């Protein structure tokens, strides 16, 4: 999508600004195979020109099916990958301009990450207190042992565990408790921006509710800003202020969560919403959509979604759509631009947040 | 004080965990492994405390009497109660030479395994964590290394040392030459294992979490990756110890290893070999049996450790 | 025996009857009871959803029925009857034959259910040849027919491809075709859609539903996903810590849950269009198998627990349209003073 508008005056201040972000992975066979067997270089466009803004204190979610590049965006923003193209600015600071460790450290402190797999995200050989204290020590926030121990106890209490749990090892905890430990570690350096990569998708639903409630509470109490990655639309609806829908490395639609869920524009967004299981037993049938996500190594021409789109025409096959303003935010779809889509009936989503 | 108490409590806690854990449980459940461990421990303890354990000091010329030569083991006719397993051609007690020989064999074994381990782990960590060109270069060197059999490398280095260093000097550096020779032929195994594990661990989320926190790569490798790849390394080290002892014995048997003045088990076997057909079988059989038992025990321990550390086989 | 497949069962006898099933996992510190006194039935042509969180014992129950419990896990009590025949005490060989002819299986990970070294067609035709009287040609034709039935386009060409040439959703279709090629009376589907994207999930559920309608097979659908259950199952059994806490028609359980655990579980699922500041939360976690509380296993987490819950273990009893194992609904407790207001 070309560009997401900066927040209008009067709205909350933008904390995170991502512009035309792209990441291309080289997945070529080894040099020897290329030389001997004449194989070609292969590139995977995991993220291809994504732009968005996250206002301070809000939650922006990226949603999409596996392989759409949403986790790659998270890792780019947090600095685990270097972007092939585009800029990431946190509070106005361009991340690419920071070269030395000393320059990066103060920014690092302000953003932290929560991972998907609570069984892999904690070093199995470290005690919980050591795990949580690592960011405090690394950033030199405190040096006194007793002070650190106190802070660790405070963090454990904050995420709903007991200070005494710090003496235990990760394997003594359930998946949900481990995710709490992970959150405590992320909070240890007093960050203001948390990148959450599918933080609840490995958890059971009742535990997922605990973690989502905890995350909402922490956001309220600490004024945190979230970039939330998920494939679960219901979770995204529950936690987000703004939502971006990704398909094969591109943002196809983004906007205010409620407005977007109420009147989805892009055919892919509509399809995703139709595929949500009906738990209210209204008798609505899921509309199975034909086809599957194609390989990101050789994505379809034009609009990546055209082979699965019931409204695709010649233009969709040849020309990548540009972003258009919508009620909720923006959409990239020729059919919307040409007004070819059947009007989508408003979904059972309240227009305004109650309260 | 408080810190010390805390450390003591932690140690007690760690011990409790160990004796409560699956590895100790699996250990107590297999008699063969207990026997192997006891034998290995006996060898190690008597090797370390050889001067205290051995009945005689075979290298103290003053205590050796040529009149005591070729005494058979004590249970045979002409046996002497002073020499339990008999004596060799110079009147040294076989039991004592075995104990002192094991000391040298195990010394060379441990040192060369340690050398190979440190070299292999370091190269493996670098290779696995950074990948790319560094990885390719290290792994190609490893490939080349693997094309030479261990004995050949050892012979090469030994020959080189003999050619380059003055003759008298060899009497002092043989230990390091052996350790270098044997160690160099082992490091590839560690490097490959550590590299594989490090590549797996590197992509785990706890390592990514450390990177997000901003921990420098060297510290991530040492504090996060290394402890989590040590399991397979320990298994290889145990089995390698047995191979190192055998390799040292082979080299000494071939006459390129430990000098005659301070014989290892391999040297003893070679020396005794000359008397095998003249009736004095004990001079070579007992060191040979000691070597076989030691290697078997260590190997059994290594095999068990591999199974005990593998959660899939538990 | 293969002729028996088409027989109707006499009277109202259920196709699968599980009575007081107990599954134990012995380990060195004692014996863990993973499934405790579980009874249920599945009628012909019915889809029974078995739902629960990880560690509830739902997958073990499914494995016990097909005789694929991994040792040292074993059936320690109870009986399993398939079409009136007891199957929990059969030898491995006898059980293998039943698995081949009467029970089909669909697992979570389609990649591990297929042999990567054989073409899809070979795996299908071999299964058909082993378990039916069809010849080579007819078996291949049947395989193509099955692949078409589960919605694989260009089945005649794709039959000679290897599993890795299929995408995740297509592979799961192949696994379903593999389960169907013996014309089973019962299909056990263990988390068949968990590894798949939402849009593919809907497709696979549609295929499963269509097939059991057309083939008249009964399905035991084991999953943690209430959405999948709500869309697919006729009845649903909710498991917690090795026991069934509630069982009944799917609409009743999903919309009017009686057991506090089921109610909490349903409330903890976020829904699109439902604006709540906080989701209903069941505090704590499911107990580990070595620390299952006395009385009702759910009592430490239950907001409505009282003295009796900590002492005695409730059995399933009829409550409205469903059955729930909860003392709230015992006659003695049904006094107006106690908790009749919050549910309804």
**pLDDT digits over A9-18, tens only?**
445 689 999 9
Cβ B237 vs Cβ B244: under 8 Å? no
Q: What percent of chain C has pLDDT over 90?
A: 19
- Tell me: pLDDT of A343 over 50: yes
Task: Find the range with the poorest average confidence among A156-165, A321-330, C204-213, C264-273.
Answer: C204-213
- CB burial readout C12-41, b (16+ within 10 A) else e: eebbbbbbebbbbbeeeeeebbbbbbbbbb
| CA–CA gap between residue B54 and residue B46 (Å, rounded) | 8
Query: Looking at residue A115, what is its pLDDT?
Result: 92
Q: Residue C17's beta-bridge partner residues? A: C41, C81
Contact B205 A121 (CB under 8 A): yes
Question: What is the token pair recorded at A123?
Answer: 């070093």
pLDDT tens track for C86-137: 988 888 888 888 887 888 888 877 677 788 888 888 888 988 888 778 888 8
Torsion over CA: A184, A188, A190, A196 (sign): negative
State the CATH number of the domain containing residue A223.
3.40.50.300
- State the residue for tokens 């263990």: C190
- Rounded to the nearest integer, the mean pLDDT of chain C is 84
Task: Find the range with the poorest average confidence among A184-198, A258-272, C172-186.
Answer: C172-186
Whether the complex's predicted ipTM is more than 0.90 is answered with no
Burial class (CB in 10 A: 0-12, 13-18, 19+), B311: exposed
Q: What is the mean pLDDT of residues A150-162?
A: 94
Q: What is the mean pLDDT of residues C17-43?
A: 90
**Domain assignment of residue A168, yes or no:** yes
- State the residue for tokens 């409590």: B9
- Tell me: pLDDT of A2 over 50: no
Task: Find the range with the poorest average confidence among B207-211, B307-311, C88-92, C276-280.
Answer: B307-311
Query: Looking at residue B5, what is its pLDDT?
Result: 58
Cβ A59 vs Cβ A220: under 8 Å? no
Please tell me the number of Cα atoms within 13 Å of C331 on its side-chain side.
1
| CA–CA gap between residue C268 and residue A279 (Å, rounded) | 12
- CB burial readout B50-85, b (16+ within 10 A) else e: beebbebbbeeeeebeeebebbbbeeeeeeeeebbb
| CA–CA gap between residue A174 and residue A160 (Å, rounded) | 13
Pairing of the two strands A85-90 and A93-94:
antiparallel
| CA–CA gap between residue B93 and residue B116 (Å, rounded) | 34
Residue C188 — φ and ψ, nearest 5°? -105, 115
Closest partner residue to B228 among A125, A138, A139, by Cβ?
A125
**Other C-beta atoms lying within 10 Å of the C-beta of residue C92:** 7
Q: Residue A246's beta-bridge partner residues? A: A251
Taking Cα atoms as reference points, which of A183, A187, A196, A258 lies closest to residue A70? Answer: A196
Query: Looking at residue C4, what is its pLDDT?
Result: 40
pLDDT tens track for B67-110: 777 777 777 777 777 777 777 777 778 888 888 888 888 998 99
Question: What is the token pair recorded at A165?
Answer: 């749990």
Residue-number span of the structural domain to which B98 is assigned: 2-313
- Tell me: pLDDT of C11 over 70: no
Taking Cα atoms as reference points, which of B305, B271, B306, B309 lies closest to residue B288? Answer: B271
pLDDT-derived band of residue B313, with 50, 70 and 90 as boundaries? Answer: very low
Contact C197 A278 (CB under 8 A): no
Chain A residue at shortest CA distance from B229: A125
State the CATH number of the domain containing residue B296.
1.10.3720.10
pLDDT-derived band of residue C21, with 50, 70 and 90 as boundaries? Answer: very high
What is the rounded radius of gyration, in angstroms, for the C-alpha atoms of chain C?
21
- Tell me: pLDDT of A152 over 80: yes
| CA–CA gap between residue C156 and residue B194 (Å, rounded) | 47
Q: Is the peptide bond before C72 cis (omega within 30 degrees of 0)?
A: yes
Contact A112 B210 (CB under 8 A): no
Interface with chain A: mutation pick from C172, C206, C272, C298, highest number of A CBs within 10 Å: C272
Long-range pairs for C206-213: beta carbons < 8 A, 24 or more residues apart: C206/A286, C206/A288, C207/C150, C207/C151, C207/C173, C207/C176, C208/C106, C208/C176, C208/C232, C209/C47, C211/C149, C211/C150, C211/C176, C211/C180, C212/C45, C212/C47, C212/C187, C213/C45
Q: Give every CB contact of residue A208 below 8 A, 6+ residues apart in sequence.
A: A200, A235, C268
Q: DSSP secondary-structure letter at B31? A: H
Chain A residue at shortest CA distance from B3: A145
Cβ B165 vs Cβ B130: under 8 Å? no
Query: Which strand ranges, in their side-by-side order, compose the sheet holding C47-51?
Result: C103-106, C186-190, C218-223, C47-51, C235-240, C243-249, C322-324, C317-319
Task: Using CB atoms, list chains with 3+ pairs below 8 Å to chain A.
Answer: B, C
Burial class (CB in 10 A: 0-12, 13-18, 19+), C216: middle
Query: Looking at residue A287, what is its pLDDT?
Result: 62
| CA–CA gap between residue A118 and residue A124 (Å, rounded) | 11
Spell out which residues of chain A touch residue B211, defining contact as CB-CB under 8 Å: 80
**Domain assignment of residue A126, yes or no:** yes
**Domain assignment of residue A136, yes or no:** yes
**Domain assignment of residue A166, yes or no:** yes
| CA–CA gap between residue A155 and residue A176 (Å, rounded) | 16
pLDDT tens track for C219-263: 999 998 888 888 888 999 999 999 999 999 999 998 888 999 999
- Rounded to the nearest integer, the mean pLDDT of chain B is 82
Taking Cα atoms as reference points, which of A42, A32, A44 lies closest to residue A81? Answer: A44
- Between B179 and A353, where is the model more confident? B179
Number of structural domains (chain B) is 1
Residue-number span of the structural domain to which A183 is assigned: 98-240
Chain A residue at shortest CA distance from C263: A206
Number of structural domains (chain A) is 1
pLDDT tens track for B8-29: 777 787 778 777 777 788 888 8
- Between B30 and C334, where is the model more confident? B30
Burial class (CB in 10 A: 0-12, 13-18, 19+), C95: middle
Q: What interhelical angle do A175-187 and A205-222 show, nearest 10?
A: 20
- Between A78 and C167, where is the model more confident? A78
Taking Cα atoms as reference points, which of B105, B100, B98 lies closest to residue B287? Answer: B98
| CA–CA gap between residue B296 and residue B292 (Å, rounded) | 6
Strand segments, DSSP code E, in A95-241 are 111-114, 193-197, 225-230
Spell out which residues of chain B touch residue A80, defining contact as CB-CB under 8 Å: 208, 211-212
pLDDT tens track for B211-267: 998 888 889 988 899 988 888 888 889 888 888 888 888 888 887 777 777 778 887
Question: What is the token pair recorded at A211?
Answer: 């973690």
Q: What is the mean pLDDT of residues C283-297?
A: 87
Question: pTM here?
Answer: 0.84
Contact A279 C269 (CB under 8 A): yes
pLDDT tens track for A203-229: 888 899 999 999 999 999 999 999 999
Q: Quick one: residue B42, left, alpha or beta (phi over 0 = left, psi -120 to 50 = alpha)?
A: alpha
Q: Give every CB contact of residue A238 below 8 A, 6+ residues apart in sequence.
A: A212, C270, C274, C276, C279
| CA–CA gap between residue C237 and residue C58 (Å, rounded) | 10
Taking Cα atoms as reference points, which of A83, A185, A100 lies closest to residue A134? Answer: A185
pLDDT-derived band of residue A88, with 50, 70 and 90 as boundaries? Answer: very high
Closest partner residue to A113 among B212, B215, B227, by Cβ?
B212
Please tell me the number of Cα atoms within 13 Å of A207 on its side-chain side.
23
Q: Residue A24's beta-bridge partner residues? A: A45
pLDDT-derived band of residue A276, with 50, 70 and 90 as boundaries? Answer: confident
Spell out which residues of chain C touch residue A204, defining contact as CB-CB under 8 Å: 53-54, 224, 286
Percent helix, strand and coil across chain A, each to the nearest 5:
35, 20, 45
Q: What is the mean pLDDT of residues B269-297?
A: 83
Distances in whole angstroms, Cα of residue A164 to Cα of each of A144, A160, A167, C334 = 19, 12, 6, 42
Taking Cα atoms as reference points, which of C91, C32, C34, C36 lies closest to residue C67? Answer: C91
Taking Cα atoms as reference points, which of B114, A6, B269, A175 lies closest to residue B258? Answer: B269
Closest partner residue to C169 among A205, A206, A292, by Cβ?
A292
Residue A242 — φ and ψ, nearest 5°? -135, 150
Q: What percent of chain A has pLDDT over 70?
A: 90
Query: Looking at residue C126, what is its pLDDT?
Result: 87
A residues 69-128 lying closer than 8 A (beta carbon) to B = 75, 78-80, 101, 104-105, 108-109, 111-113, 115-117, 120-125
Chain A closest CA to B216's CA: distance in Å?
9
- Tell me: pLDDT of C332 over 80: no
Query: Looking at residue B101, what is its pLDDT?
Result: 85
Query: Looking at residue B132, what is its pLDDT?
Result: 80
3-state secondary structure of C203: helix
Closest partner residue to B213 among A101, A116, A138, by Cβ?
A138
- Tell me: pLDDT of C3 over 50: no
- Rounded to the nearest integer, the mean pLDDT of chain A is 86
| CA–CA gap between residue A78 and residue C333 (Å, rounded) | 56
pLDDT tens track for B139-173: 989 888 888 777 787 778 778 877 887 766 666 67
| CA–CA gap between residue A42 and residue B169 (Å, rounded) | 58
| CA–CA gap between residue A122 and residue A124 (Å, rounded) | 6
Torsion over CA: A349, A350, A351, A355 (sign): negative
């Amino acid at each position: 999508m070309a560009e997401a508008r900066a927040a209008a005056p009067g709205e909350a201040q933008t904390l995170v600004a991502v512009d035309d972000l792209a990441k291309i992975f080289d997945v070529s066979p080894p040099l020897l195979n290329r030389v001997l067997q004449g194989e070609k270089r292969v590139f995977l466009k995991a993220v291809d020109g994504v732009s968005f803004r996250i206002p301070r204190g809000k939650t922006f979610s990226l949603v999409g099916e596996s392989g759409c590049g949403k986790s790659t965006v998270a890792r780019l923003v947090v600095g685990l990958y270097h972007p092939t193209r585009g800029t990431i600015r946190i509070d106005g600071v361009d991340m690419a301009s920071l070269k030395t460790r000393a320059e990066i450290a103060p920014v690092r402190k302000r953003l932290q990450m929560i991972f998907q797999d609570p069984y892999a995200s904690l070093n199995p050989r470290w005690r919980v207190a050591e795990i949580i204290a690592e960011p405090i020590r690394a950033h030199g926030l405190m040096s006194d042992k007793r002070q650190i121990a106190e802070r660790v106890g405070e963090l454990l209490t904050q995420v709903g565990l007991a200070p005494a749990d710090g003496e235990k090892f990760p394997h003594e905890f359930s998946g949900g408790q481990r995710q709490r430990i992970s959150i405590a570690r992320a909070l240890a350096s007093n960050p203001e921006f948390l990148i959450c990569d599918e933080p609840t998708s490995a958890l059971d639903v009742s535990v997922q509710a605990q973690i989502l409630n905890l995350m909402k509470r922490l956001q309220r109490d600490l004024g945190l800003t979230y970039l939330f990655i998920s494939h679960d639309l219901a979770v995204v609806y529950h936690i987000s202020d703004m939502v971006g829908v990704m398909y094969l490395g591109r943002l196809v639609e983004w906007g205010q969560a409620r407005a977007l869920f109420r009147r989805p524009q892009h055919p892919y967004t509509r399809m995703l919403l139709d595929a949500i299981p009906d738990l209210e037993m209204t008798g609505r049938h899921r509309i199975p959509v034909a086809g599957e996500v194609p390989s990101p190594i050789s994505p379809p021409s034009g609009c990546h979604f055209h082979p699965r789109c019931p409204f695709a025409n010649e233009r969709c096959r040849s020309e990548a759509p540009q972003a258009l303003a919508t009620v909720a935010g923006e959409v990239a779809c020729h059919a919307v631009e040409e007004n070819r889509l059947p009007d989508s009936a408003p979904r059972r989503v309240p227009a305004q947040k109650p309260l | 004080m408080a810190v010390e108490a805390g450390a003591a409590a932690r140690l007690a806690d760690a011990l409790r965990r160990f004796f409560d854990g699956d590895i100790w449980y699996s250990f107590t459940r297999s008699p063969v492994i207990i026997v192997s461990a006891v034998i290995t421990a006996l060898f190690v303890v008597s090797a370390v405390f050889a001067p205290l354990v051995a009945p005689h000091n075979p290298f103290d010329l003053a205590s050796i009497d040529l009149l005591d030569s070729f005494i058979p083991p004590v249970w045979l006719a002409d046996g002497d109660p002073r020499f339990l397993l008999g004596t060799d051609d110079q009147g040294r007690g076989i039991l004592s030479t075995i104990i002192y020989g094991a000391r040298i064999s195990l010394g060379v074994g441990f040192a060369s395994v340690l050398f190979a381990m440190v070299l292999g782990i370091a190269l493996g960590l670098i290779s696995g964590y950074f990948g790319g060109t560094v990885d390719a270069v290290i792994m190609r060197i490893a490939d080349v290394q693997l094309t030479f059999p261990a004995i050949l490398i050892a012979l090469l280095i030994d020959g080189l040392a003999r050619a380059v260093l003055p003759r008298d000097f060899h009497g002092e550096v043989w230990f390091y030459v052996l350790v270098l020779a044997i160690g160099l032929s082992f490091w590839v195994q560690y490097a490959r294992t550590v590299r594989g594990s490090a590549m797996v661990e590197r992509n785990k989320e706890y390592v990514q979490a450390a990177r997000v926190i901003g921990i420098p790569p060297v510290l991530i490798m040492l504090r996060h990756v290394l402890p989590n790849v040590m399991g397979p390394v320990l298994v290889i080290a145990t089995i390698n110890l047995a191979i190192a002892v055998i390799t040292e014995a082979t080299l000494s048997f071939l006459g390129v290893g430990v000098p005659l003045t301070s014989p290892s088990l391999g040297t003893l076997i070679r020396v005794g070999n000359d008397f095998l057909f003249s009736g004095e079988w004990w001079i070579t059989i007992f060191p040979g049996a000691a070597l076989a038992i030691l290697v078997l025990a260590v190997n059994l321990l290594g095999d068990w450790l591999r199974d005990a550390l593998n959660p899939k086989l538990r | 025996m293969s002729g028996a497949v088409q027989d109707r069962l006499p009277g109202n006898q259920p196709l699968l009857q599980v009575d007081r099933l107990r599954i134990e996992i012995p380990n060195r510190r004692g014996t863990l009871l993973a499934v405790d006194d579980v009874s249920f039935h599945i009628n012909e042509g019915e889809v029974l959803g078995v739902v629960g969180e990880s560690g509830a014992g739902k997958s073990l129950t499914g494995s016990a029925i097909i005789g694929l419990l991994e040792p040292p896990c074993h059936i320690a009590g109870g009986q399993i009857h398939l079409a009136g025949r007891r199957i929990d005490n059969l030898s491995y060989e006898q059980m293998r034959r039943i698995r081949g002819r009467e029970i089909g299986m669909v697992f979570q990970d389609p990649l591990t259910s297929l042999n990567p070294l054989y073409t899809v067609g070979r795996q299908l035709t071999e299964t058909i040849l082993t378990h039916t009287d069809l010849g080579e040609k007819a078996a291949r034709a049947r395989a193509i027919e099955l692949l078409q039935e589960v919605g694989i386009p260009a089945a005649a060409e794709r039959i000679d491809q290897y599993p890795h040439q299929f995408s995740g959703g297509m592979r799961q279709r192949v696994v379903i075709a593999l389960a169907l090629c013996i014309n089973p009376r019962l299909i056990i589907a263990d988390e068949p859609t968990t590894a798949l994207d939402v849009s593919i999930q809907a497709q696979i559920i549609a295929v499963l539903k269509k097939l059991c309608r057309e083939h008249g097979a009964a399905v035991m659908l084991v999953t943690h996903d209430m959405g999948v259950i709500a869309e697919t199952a006729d009845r649903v059994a909710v498991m917690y810590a090795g026991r069934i806490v509630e069982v009944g028609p799917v609409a009743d359980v999903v919309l009017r849950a009686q057991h506090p655990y089921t109610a909490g579980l349903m409330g903890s699922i976020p829904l699109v269009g439902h604006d709540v500041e906080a989701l209903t939360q069941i505090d704590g976690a499911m107990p580990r198998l070595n620390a299952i509380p006395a009385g009702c296993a759910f009592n430490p987490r239950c907001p409505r627990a009282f003295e009796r819950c900590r002492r005695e273990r409730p059995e399933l009893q009829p409550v409205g349209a469903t059955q729930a194992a909860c003392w709230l609904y015992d006659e003695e407790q049904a006094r107006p003073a106690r908790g009749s207001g919050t549910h309804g």
